[in-house]
A = this chain, B = another copy of it.
């Protein structure tokens, strides 16, 4: 637990995660684009750093929690980035959800400087971050995973070492594929019930008793019945994750015929102005289509 931790990216997820690391007794150095969250963390006991390179220079473990692949590349491997500040034997953990291919390239760049890098994307959302109850999907070597475990345990509950570098990001991509596809399937089914004059709540109840049962049918199915599309996990973030899935599928020549249709629905939902609604608003997109073309 003696590790000094650097934390870069204090957004909706990063801020409560950094706070949980402070609560767990770690020394934490923080950096973020917006000054407000940095001030908050500093008043809670963290140290401020001016740039990613400086965070790395004063930390044994540097964590990034950023919106997208380009942001992580900027902070880790571009001029002024973490790669310039790390010292031999330190550890980098990217907890953002980004492209597995880019992850492997960055991991190789760090390895050439004697620094291990783990990919450790999470699921569980803001609530999971605040409650230190995130699911964490980890890619990287065993020694790095063992070293990072106390850090992960301060942040989450369901911690799975999936495989080597990139495996955490691949796992997250698979998760986002299954979640969005299941939401879309439930939306199509409940709308079919409704437009057939059948009580969709009864259909949800009946389906929960059999092979159609899922966490999504339970939670997001209820959201659809209630038209409760306040986030939750935003459509635009799932659209971003869907691009990562698409890119990973293209890179590995993996056919994803049904998810390709789901990506189109996410895109249409974004274009219709549902970016900041919960991803269960894929139901609202279908309702619009039924109204416009029905």
CB atoms of A207 and B258 under 8 A apart: no
Q: Is A290 an interface residue (CB 8 A)?
A: yes
Q: What size tier do the contact residues of chain A reach?
A: 35 or more
Task: Chain B residues near A124: list those with CB within 8 A.
Answer: 210
Q: Min CB distance, A163 to chain B, in Å?
A: 5
Q: Is A191 an interface residue (CB 8 A)?
A: yes
Q: Is A173 an interface residue (CB 8 A)?
A: yes
CB atoms of B175 and A206 under 8 A apart: yes
Q: Is A112 an interface residue (CB 8 A)?
A: no
| Cβ-closest chain B residue relative to A215 | B213
CB atoms of B206 and A171 under 8 A apart: yes
CB atoms of A175 and B207 under 8 A apart: yes
Task: Chain B residues near A211: list those with CB within 8 A.
Answer: 123, 175, 179, 215-216, 219
Q: Min CB distance, A221 to chain B, in Å?
A: 9
Task: Chain B residues near A162: list those with CB within 8 A.
Answer: 198-199, 202-203, 206
CB atoms of A255 and B199 under 8 A apart: no
Contact with B along A96-138 (1 / 0, CB 8 A): 0000100000000000000000000001100000000001010
Given contacts A163-B198, A163-B202, A191-B254, 7 further A-B contacts (CB under 8 A): A135-B206, A167-B199, A170-B193, A177-B192, A178-B186, A181-B185, A214-B214
The CA-CA distance from A134 to B252 in the complex, in Å, is 41
The CA-CA distance from A2 to B139 in the complex, in Å, is 65
CB atoms of B257 and A196 under 8 A apart: no
14 contacts between A and B (CB under 8 A): A100-B196, A170-B198, A181-B181, A181-B185, A181-B258, A184-B257, A184-B258, A185-B258, A188-B255, A188-B258, A192-B245, A211-B216, A214-B215, A258-B265
Given contacts A248-B192, A257-B265, A258-B258, contact A198 B171 (CB under 8 A): yes
Contact with B along A214-236 (1 / 0, CB 8 A): 11110100000000000000000
